[in-house]
Amino acid sequence: MRTITAIGGSPATGKTTLMRKFIEIHGEWQTLEPAPPASKNRLIKSIPCMYSQMLDLFILGKYQTNELFSGTDKLSMAVQPTAQDFVRYVKRNILFEGDRLFTPSFLKFLSVLPYTKLRILILTAPKKMLEKRYKARGSNQSETFLKGRDTKYKNIAEDRELIPFVTRMSNTTLEEQSKIVNFLCLK
């Protein structure tokens, strides 16, 4: 059985920083865009990702040095159908973070896949800390946008179909970050 872990959280909860730490800690990664074969009806498009043979794990998205927004945030807004095809084709462990794929429809799609254990991790941090992080990174996201993200994650966490898969974890200190990195390990 494979494990798919989805990481979400309001802006500045540390999703990308966490992923960079996970990537750094866990060895050698191959950056690739696998080219799956054609299905009976169509060619399955590739999706940018990294692969660790040691962990038998794909990380979806692009993680380049010194970019504020990485991961699935670097993918097209219309990436979900491609990601669904990829997940159906690649029968390996998968990890991703960010708004492009952390949607109720994609998470529900993942929740019913055979031979798949889904883990939905929602990162949290106090509002004052988030405001400090927004300022430190020069964020220009509007209050309306930020409230919309908060509502999105609250709705996912409270969705009856998704509740069994949801774990919330605070990401405010290096100690908490370390606990989350350990949680992400598939052991």
Q: Report the number of distinct structural domains present in the chain.
A: 1
Q: Model pTM? A: 0.87
- CATH code, domain carrying 84: 3.40.50.300
- Structural domain boundaries, residue 172: 2-184
Tell me what pLDDT residue 179 has: 93
Rounded average pLDDT per 10-residue block, the chain, 187 residues: 94 87 84 53 64 88 67 73 87 89 95 95 91 80 84 93 96 93 80
